[in-house]
Structure 1
Amino acid sequence: MRLSGVFGPVAEWPGQDLVALSHEFDAELVVEAYRAGVFPMPLHEAGWPAGTMGWWSPVHRGILPLDDIRVTRSLRKSARHYTTTVDRRFAEVMERCGDPSRPGGWIDGDITRVYTQLYDAGLAHSVEVWTPDGRLAGGLYGVGLGGLFAGESMFHDPEIGRDASKVALLRLVRVLDDGHERLLDVQWVTDHLATLGAVEVDRDDYLRLLGEALDVPAPDWAAAREDGPHAGDA
């Protein structure tokens, strides 16, 4: 059943991160969800029926302020060993992010199918990080709507990609930070993201920031894609 009015009035949402469940899952619903401050993540734990999609709006939402990103000396040094591209290998980045051997993996076939559709529609984007000999060392993907970029997942290759996911995030910030006030949503603050400056905001504050960001022009993703490989941005 399609969720009426997306997810109903915010005042009626439960005081927890998981705000709704559904068995329906398509690209249109995902776009509606992001515009409402909600994102999908399937429930694979025991006890949930197969195909149950969870819809989440964290009570304490993680964001990364673009003007407060932290770049350590060691990260600057590490970044020099890579180049970065935008929207060149979306499918491969999703595949690597969804590696079933990763702890806590949640990217399943339905997620891959729908986000690939969003990429084809110009609404999902990837950043790739490459070694000098052309191997994919890390990357990230997410959804861009106006001035919102909702980061979904990132990865690094443990053998060749030390700091590669962080380098991908630095390239993303360069794309987003072009003088407009944009919102980089990271869902939850992890220790990894906290080292880069991610902070938590209350749900109500996030929804206010989201409303402002959706009215901001999107960055020029086509230009970023055609810009070619960049030296690791730090």
Structure 2
Amino acid sequence: MAIYLPELSAHDVSFPPLSRALDDPDGLLAMGGDLSVQRLLSAYQQGIFPWFSEGDPLLWWSPSVRAVFPPDTLSLSRTLKKQIRRHQLHFSVNKAFVRVIKQCAAPRAKQPGTWILPAMQQAYTELHRQGHAHSVEVWQQDTLVGGLYGVQIGSLFCGESMFNLMPDTAKLALLALQCHLKQAAAGWIDCQMPNPFLLQLGVQPLPRPDYIKLLTRLRQQPMPTAHWAARDFSLDDNNG
């Protein structure tokens, strides 16, 4: 059976109502348009994100169930504290955004392809340049060993992707993100869709209507622009 998808206009950044998102594949809402800053911000403010593979048209999604970390979900366990000390890890925000997104796009052992295509990298790098997309980095001395990036919408951080080159550094990047957010807001993190790794960490599956209510509230609570100034920071400042 053929699937009908609304095709977005190149001159209009609006989206169809979320009620028109498909059940199969879950959450597929529209195709086409572009990855301009204006369109991407419009999408995230409505609970929509782009996701497509090489050779596909530009596809836009709003899944029926979202994955959200509520405030204080992530905590620094003894094991993670030992990892930090043993490997002499330290953390930063927005000091290596381009390197983080390139590492997130790199092929992985069980996933040789990537959806973070050059056009996506360019689009989110421009979002970063304009102050909307941010990165968290995990370092071992001067070597980048883990990190993540995403888009800030009000006081909600919409995570896009993460990577680790050492055990637990993706987990530490998430924890560092929540600690950083909590310095200026409650600490909500959207991770798009549940997966086994996120569920193991305590992510909360949230039906789309509940997610939209949360998004509507949090997008009206802007974080100070200065909070994302590139800098190093310590987890010890927030976790004792």
SS of the residue aligned with 1:192?
helix
Q: Which residue of 2 aligns with 1:42?
A: 52
**How many pairs does the alignment contain?**
224
Deviation of 1:70 after TM superposition, in Å, equals: 4.6
Letter of the structure 1 residue corresponding to residue 93 of structure 2 = V
Runs of 4+ more than 6 Å apart: none
CA contact (8 A) 2:145 2:169 kept: yes
CA contact (8 A) 1:139 1:155 kept: yes
Cα distance between partner residues in 2 of 1:3 and 1:155: 35
Q: Which residue of 2 aligns with 1:17?
A: 27
The alignment's TM-score, normalised by the length of structure 1, stands at 0.86
Deviation of 1:152 after TM superposition, in Å, equals: 0.3
- Out of 106, 117, 132, the position equivalent to 2:126 is 117
Cα 1:92–1:83 change in 2 (3 A) is: same
CA contact (8 A) 1:71 1:196 kept: no
Q: Which residue of 2 aligns with 1:47?
A: none
Cα distance between partner residues in 2 of 1:12 and 1:42: 19
Q: Which residue of 2 aligns with 1:69?
A: 74
Percent identity reads: 33
Cα distance between partner residues in 2 of 1:226 and 1:113: 20
Deviation of 1:71 after TM superposition, in Å, equals: 4.2
Cα distance between partner residues in 2 of 1:3 and 1:183: 33
CA contact (8 A) 1:70 1:195 kept: no
Confirm or deny that 1:89 pairs with 2:93: no
Deviation of 1:2 after TM superposition, in Å, equals: 3.8
Q: Which residue of 2 aligns with 1:170?
A: 175
Give the stretch that moved more between structures: 61-70 or 134-143.
61-70
Letter of the structure 2 residue corresponding to residue 8 of structure 1 = P
Unaligned runs of 5+ in 2: 1-8
- Out of 211, 215, 229, the position equivalent to 1:225 is 229
Unaligned runs of 5+ in 1: 45-49
Deviations 1:164-187 (A, max 9, x none): 111111111012123634531001
Deviation of 1:129 after TM superposition, in Å, equals: 0.4
The alignment's TM-score, normalised by the length of structure 2, stands at 0.84
- Out of 193, 196, 202, the position equivalent to 1:197 is 202
Cα 1:207–1:134 change in 2 (3 A) is: same
Q: Which residue of 2 aligns with 1:98?
A: 105
Confirm or deny that 1:150 pairs with 2:158: yes
CA contact (8 A) 2:179 2:235 kept: no
Q: Which residue of 2 aligns with 1:206?
A: 211
Cα 1:23–1:9 change in 2 (3 A) is: closer
Cα distance between partner residues in 1 of 2:76 and 2:206: 22
Deviation of 1:27 after TM superposition, in Å, equals: 1.8
Q: CA RMSD in A?
A: 2.2
SS of the residue aligned with 2:106?
coil
Deviation of 1:199 after TM superposition, in Å, equals: 1.4
Letter of the structure 2 residue corresponding to residue 96 of structure 1 = Q
Cα distance between partner residues in 2 of 1:83 and 1:22: 40
